[in-house]
Amino acid sequence: MVTQILDPNELIVTTSSRSAFRRCPLPQKWYWQYVMGYKEKNVADALFFGIGIHEALAEWYLLGRKRGPHPADTFAKWHGDEVREIRANYADRDSEYGIDEAKYENSLDLGISMLEGYIDEYGRDPDWSVIAIERPFKVRVIKDGKVIAYFMSTWDGVYRDRRDDRIYLMEHKTAAQIQLAYLELDDQGGIYWALAGSILRSEGVLKEGEEIAGITYNFLRKSVADERPRNAGGEYLNKNGTVSKKQPPDRYVRELVERSARERKTQMDRLADEVWLMKGMIEGTIPVTKNTTKECSFCPFFLSCKMHERGGNAYKSVLKADFTISNPFDRYLKSAA
């Protein structure tokens, strides 16, 4: 019999489990993935690329105006280590579960190109004086005066901008297409922002009364460099020197979103409310329902979910065949130890 990995009395919430909870709200996918621990057999890590870019930027933005090794070099080293480990882990598996060599080769070139272009664009960010580097944190989630879970995650960094002498949270994002419209409602950066100020004040990094004014969303578009020549205005040119009709979207975008004191409470309340719902679903007092949409065909649980709809236990055989079981919070528990 398969038991729940997640203990409702020691409930852990992370940014990715929260995101899965919201994606299929009310959330069958979250339940299978984060409560039961089902992990796709043939997927090394869906977040592989983004993690590498974050690691590279984490080693770049050191305290103050110090900067570490070029992020493209850090990414290349990280990529090599990671692919070696994936190869070792997958070597004894059926070829069906082997790694896609071409995909990893392309991701290496893509990451290096993105990070070389990033440094060409922003240099050493001389106006950013970093006051807190990337690091994991763990905080209690409280509802009605009781601790109902622990929220564990990692923020990307906090810096003082020398141009306006205000403090901002940095939130690095990689995306195939950069979308800005939702950022004022973004809860991922929002909850980091809501927590970072009090954590840093309690550690004496921020003085009493010092606030983090907002979030700088630092987007890197997943794209390789466009090698065509450019004119003085930055427009790409055709071979004959005329301005090309095909101008790519910006590869790097920074968007500053200020947040108000009221939003801090909204963020904390929303996290506690979501955890309360999760806890009810794990304990069986709230039903685990599904959000069936046409996006379901992209869900790793699509087949098992269809079988589950038909009733009976056949869906369990599909889960057993296509998934392994592991603790999805292992990485966080290790970094918090």
Here the tokens at position 153 are 């995650």
> For residues 42 and 291, which CB has a smaller minimum distance to ligand SF4 in the complex?
291
**Distance between CA atoms of residues 236 and 316, nearest Å:** 54
Compose the 14-53 pattern: x for residues touching ligand SF4 by CB under 6 A, - for all others. ----------x---xx------------------------
Residue with tokens 């939130």: 171
Pick the binder of ligand SF4 from 110, 205, 296, 325 (CB under 6 A).
296
Enumerate residues 6+ apart whose C-beta is below 8 A from 243. 231, 235, 236, 237
Kind and range of the H or E run holding 38: strand 38-40
Binding piece for ligand SF4, criterion CB under 6 A, among 41-49, 61-69, 183-191, 286-294:
286-294
Phi, psi of 217 (to 5 degrees): -80, 120
> For residues 24 and 44, which CB has a smaller minimum distance to ligand SF4 in the complex?
24
Here the tokens at position 286 are 């709230």
Assess 115 for contact with ligand SF4 (CB under 6 A): no
Assess 104 for contact with ligand SF4 (CB under 6 A): no
170: left (phi over 0), alpha (psi -120 to 50) or beta: beta
Assess 307 for contact with ligand SF4 (CB under 6 A): no
Pick the binder of ligand SF4 from 238, 292, 324, 326 (CB under 6 A).
292
Assess 57 for contact with ligand SF4 (CB under 6 A): no
261-283 vs 15-23: helix crossing angle, rounded to 10? 70
Assess 281 for contact with ligand SF4 (CB under 6 A): no
User: Interface residues with ligand SF4 (CB under 6 A)?
Assistant: 24, 28-29, 290-292, 296, 299, 301-302, 305
